[in-house]
Amino acid sequence: MGNLITTIRRFFTNKNTVTIFGVLAGVVVLWVFYNYRVTQAVTPKKVPIANKVLIASQEITKDDFEFVEVNSDLLKKASVITNSNQLVGYYVNIGTSIPKGGMFYTTQVVEKKALPNSFFDEIPKGYTPYQLKVTNDTTFANSIYPGDRIDLYLKTTVDGKIVYGPLIESIEVLAVRDSSGQDVFDSSSTRTPAWLLFAVPSDKEAEVGDLYTLLKSIEYVSDMQLFPVPRNRGYTEEAGETRIKSEYLRTLVESKTSPVPDV
């Protein structure tokens, strides 16, 4: 018995034996890994495809797609959406469409807020959209964000002297767009702000009056210009209703325009 144990011990401690077992173990590991990769590559995976033509800006519902099985290896070579939770309630991006039977690529599907026209859906009754032309400099190096409450300052001249001061306080920025109308903050690439979008009262009976007409009138007075002035986070969190800060400046604007008579 002792001789048998000694023989076995010598067999497993022999350098040649250890080498052979090491090679065999390596082969087994490689085979298992290779088999796993092959299985993963050829195992079909269910992905959603459109069951009808979906056009730009259309909302995607659960009735707009079905599932088919595709080769898993294909999905590694394309940015295809595989989870229906990333489709329902999302929208087809502007400038594209999804054909019947087509897969949903990540660049084709966006949230509603990424659509240029989604801004108008949020405007309450009695308000009108207003956009202020800006630059990277006037937005403090693109430091004004949607949801911020800011002030609008007016610059003009009176009797040859410069007048500069706050006209409107606590106006909410609803969107920041570039020159092509795209949301400045919906992309990892750098976009230059060109417009700040607001919703302002356009009813003369509103507490602050018809701000839309007031702001648009400023655009047509050659020596008047509006500037956005951001405030801190606390100002945004504690801000009340949008209000006129200077009745003097409002009167100054109105003095250089003529009201449209009621018919």
Q: Are strands 109-110 and 175-177 parallel, antiparallel or unpaired?
A: unpaired
Over residues 112-137, the mean pLDDT reads 82
How far apart, in whole angstroms, are the C-alpha atoms of residue 97 and residue 100?
Answer: 10
pLDDT at position 36 is: 53
Using alpha carbons, list the distances in angstroms from residue 257 to 171, 243, 246.
Answer: 23, 21, 17
Comparison of pLDDT for 114 and 220, the residue scoring more: 220
Please provide the DSSP assignment of 112-164 as one string: GGGSGGGGGGGPPTTEEEEEEE--TTTTTTT---TT-EEEEEEEEEETTEEEE
How far apart, in whole angstroms, are the C-alpha atoms of residue 135 and residue 31?
Answer: 61
pLDDT at position 5 is: 57
Domains of the chain in start order, with CATH, are 44-110 (3.90.1210.10), 116-255 (no CATH)
Which amino acid appears at position 250 of this protein?
R
pTM: 0.61
pLDDT tens digit string along 59-95? 899 999 999 888 776 666 678 888 889 899 998 887 7
SS3 label, residue 105: strand
pLDDT tens digit string along 2-38? 555 555 555 455 555 556 555 555 555 565 555 555 5
pLDDT tens digit string along 143-189? 999 889 999 999 999 999 999 999 999 999 988 988 887 788 866 56
pLDDT at position 185 is: 80
Using alpha carbons, list the distances in angstroms from residue 244 to 55, 81, 170, 209.
Answer: 43, 48, 9, 9
